[in-house]
Chain A
Amino acid sequence: MPYGYTGKILHVNLTTSEITVEEPAEEFYRTYMGGSAMGMHYVLKETPAGADALGPENVLALCTGVVTGTPISGQSRLTSVAKSPLTGCIGDAQGGGYFPAEMKFSGFDAVIIKGKSPKPVYLWMHRGEAELKDAAHLWGLTTGDTEDKLKVELEDKRIEVLQIGPAGENLVRFAALISMSNRANGRTGMGAVMGSKNLKAVVVRGKQKPTIADPETFKKLQKWGTANLEATGMDGFGKYGTPGVTAPQNKSGGLPTFNFNSGTFDKAEEIDGVKLYNEHLRGHEKDDQNRFGRDTCFSCSIKCKRVTEIAEGPFKTDAKYGGPEYETTSTFGSYCGISDMDAIICANALCNMHGMDTISCGATIAWAMECWAEGKLTAEDTGGIELTYGNAEAMVKMTELIAKREGFGKILAEGSRKAAEIIGRGTEDYLITSKGQEAPAHMPQVKRSLSIIYATNPFGADHESSEHDPGYKAYPERMKYIGLTNPQEKLALNKEMMRFAMVTQHLSSAVDSLSVCAFIFGASFQLYGADKLVEVVNAVTGWDTDITEILAVGERRLNMMRAFNSREGIGREADTLSKKMFKRPLEGGRSDGYVLDEKEWEAALEDYYRLCDWNVETGHPSLKKLESLGLGWVVAENEALSKVVS
């Protein structure tokens, strides 16, 4: 029995109902370490070039990492990888909770899903076995109702369920995978991929706890985490959750407001994490939020998850659907000019109930609101719903219509880029997408290295794929550990900041491959830094890895994703930001007047390509780079790729 991982990968062909188990050698685990890199291995091997993202050929990989399920903070994460129906590029979404650990306990490190079932089914993985079961009675149900029914049906309240809601069934292009009815593998439409396969849910249960190679060192690392919660500020982070960052973001001029036209929202205090904690978390009436209003992931002491409940009124919300993250309070809040926290909580719950990404959903509505403000959309288009900035009722209504693909929601369910193509009339000028994915709530105009990551990230604009600019100066010791010793001034977009972007991107990519939490293991502010990540991996697996090898895993995964896109004919032309970020200076606050300079930005992009060893003209990874990462097979096995990579 290997340490940390089970050594078993489940393969499910939904077309034929065939289920097999693969037992890869240790070298395989050492090469990929799990999560996204492991998933990419299967997607590149088994999804043919040009496959329809919503067709049976698209392979969906659900992968844990080699430390998932061990009792330490930040390890219970699951990665989903497949071609994205939102972007047409590779898709990737990370999610936490209890499902990832329980999947490991069920006896499998990952499940690789291909084909399409002729009828709705769910996959039941338990105690080293797996079977497909009928899900006709679950189709159409919300996530909460599905989970309730499955617990009764399988006579076990401790099962964990990763599922699609009605939005996934309706192939909303930014549909999410949801577990615990409130945790999302949110981005890039993985829920629509699962829906296209007629797979309603993956249900797991087991008792196979991972064996730890060096229990004594592991115990010391556990204790270090507990002892340093306060010193690292992570106890405060846990108390106020990610929304606690809203006020600082606003003060620094980096809170996306009115669809990214400003970095300052005059009602930011209304959507801040402190207000959410004091006035909205469950239990706030008796000042008992820590008991009733916070939740966590398996074995994590941070407890950063929010639990909210609205007993009555137009925004009535059930606590089982959790509470909003910072991204959600921003996309449904400041992006849309909305400061009504109850409406944001309700929209968040609707997304969890129906299974949608709150970032793309809120940002798509914000895009429509700007189109409305500019006279590009009217009540005739929207079925009478007035999509004015600040209209909380309209925002909530539109969220529901998108999930159900009804009315104007049918168009917005395509995501903002495709919606702009359908509507025309110059509405594309207001997009905030990269590769068709809506930008999360960190502003490229303010965090300049992030602008290159938004543009070049293989699965579209993403905020968890590199460290953000201020981290370089603020955490010199942790930066030094990954070879970054030359912090630059604010707004710098030079070669050193491109090196910062790339190196921290490799670390984030490794974090997503080890499938651990970006708030616990990472480059700067996190509880455990990258040094402790190495120690945890070694203590669990018995390996002798180091930061160089960990960063190489991240670089490997990133290049596999770029190679996937290259195979689809997607290269430099797709590495873009929205037009407005170059043409429209931000208005108000500390970032007033900020705008990206196109010439400076293109030069930085080319610096970044050179550092990555990607072709400056095409954006494709070089053959030399792929071979140096042990990825020569990717070119050898893919004719379409061999034609564009040299």
Chain B
Amino acid sequence: MRIHVELMGPLVDFLPKSQRGQTTLTLSGEATIADLLKELKINIKVVVAVNDDEEKELEHVLVDGDEVLVFTLISGG
């Protein structure tokens, strides 16, 4: 299945600079958010939203065509 991923803020560095934080991944079989993060080699605490919906848990199972946003929380500025 194909998952479109957008990494935001400092997470853009988990992809080559030219991709500006965006990529489409092809994952085989049933895949969860945890699998997706492993594929992207993201090993830090992140928040993940799927299809503009509520933030999802690591165990959430993805389906073909999902659009996934990944970001870190900073409450301040």
* Residues in chain A within 8 A of chain B (CB atoms): 230-233, 235-237, 239-240, 242-248, 251-252, 272-274, 325-327, 330, 440-442, 463-464, 467-468, 470-471, 473-475, 489-490, 518-519, 524-525, 590
Contacts and interface: CB of A to CB of B under 8 A. Distances in A.
Contacts of A464: 76
Given A232-B44, A233-B44, A525 B74 contact: yes
A244 B13 contact: no
Given A240-B10, A244-B9, A473-B55, A467 B45 contact: no
B54 interface: yes
B55 A245 contact: no
A274 B9 contact: yes
B72 A248 contact: yes
A247 B55 contact: no
Nearest to B10: A236
A470 B10 contact: no
Contact of B72 (A233, A251, A489, A519): A233
Interface in B1-35: 6, 8-13, 21
A525 B10 contact: no
Given A233-B46, A272-B9, A470-B47, 19 more contacts: A231-B44, A232-B44, A235-B10, A237-B74, A243-B77, A245-B9, A247-B8, A251-B6, A325-B77, A470-B55, A470-B75, A471-B73, A474-B45, A474-B47, A490-B55, A519-B74, A524-B73, A525-B74, A590-B52
A327 B45 contact: no
Contact of B76 (A240, A242, A272, A273): A242
Interface in B33-77: 43-47, 49, 52, 54-55, 69, 71-77
Nearest to B54: A490
A464 B74 CA distance: 11
B58 to A, nearest CB: 11
A242 B72 contact: no
Contacts of A471: 73, 75
Contact of B75 (A235, A239, A467, A473): A467
A237 B10 contact: yes
A52 B71 CA distance: 46
Contacts of A470: 47, 55, 73, 75
Given A242-B76, A273-B9, A274-B12, A248 B71 contact: yes
A230 B10 contact: no
Nearest to B52: A590
Contacts of A273: 9-10
Given A233-B45, A327-B77, A251 B55 contact: no
Contacts of B21: 274
A463 to B, nearest CB: 6
A468 B71 contact: no
A463 B75 CA distance: 8
A488 to B, nearest CB: 12
Contacts of B43: 231
A525 B54 contact: no
Given A247-B8, A475-B45, A525 B13 contact: no
A594 B42 CA distance: 32
A408 B10 CA distance: 40
Contact of A441 (B13, B47, B52, B77): B77
A238 to B, nearest CB: 9
Contact of B13 (A239, A247, A467, A524): A239
Contact of B74 (A242, A252, A473, A590): A242
A446 to B, nearest CB: 12
Nearest to B13: A236
Nearest to B14: A236
A230 B10 CA distance: 11
A232 B55 CA distance: 19
B40 to A, nearest CB: 14
A244 B74 contact: yes
Contacts of B13: 236, 239
20 contacts: A232-B44, A233-B10, A233-B45, A236-B10, A237-B10, A239-B10, A242-B77, A244-B10, A251-B49, A251-B69, A272-B9, A273-B9, A327-B77, A463-B77, A468-B75, A474-B55, A475-B45, A475-B73, A490-B55, A524-B73
Nearest to A233: B44
A230 B47 CA distance: 16
A524 B76 CA distance: 12
B72 A237 contact: yes
A326 B77 contact: yes
B55 A525 contact: no
Contacts of A440: 77
Contact of B9 (A247, A467, A473, A518): A247
Those 10 A-B pairs whose CB atoms lie nearest each other, nearest first? A236-B10, A326-B77, A468-B75, A248-B71, A242-B77, A244-B9, A233-B44, A245-B74, A247-B8, A327-B77
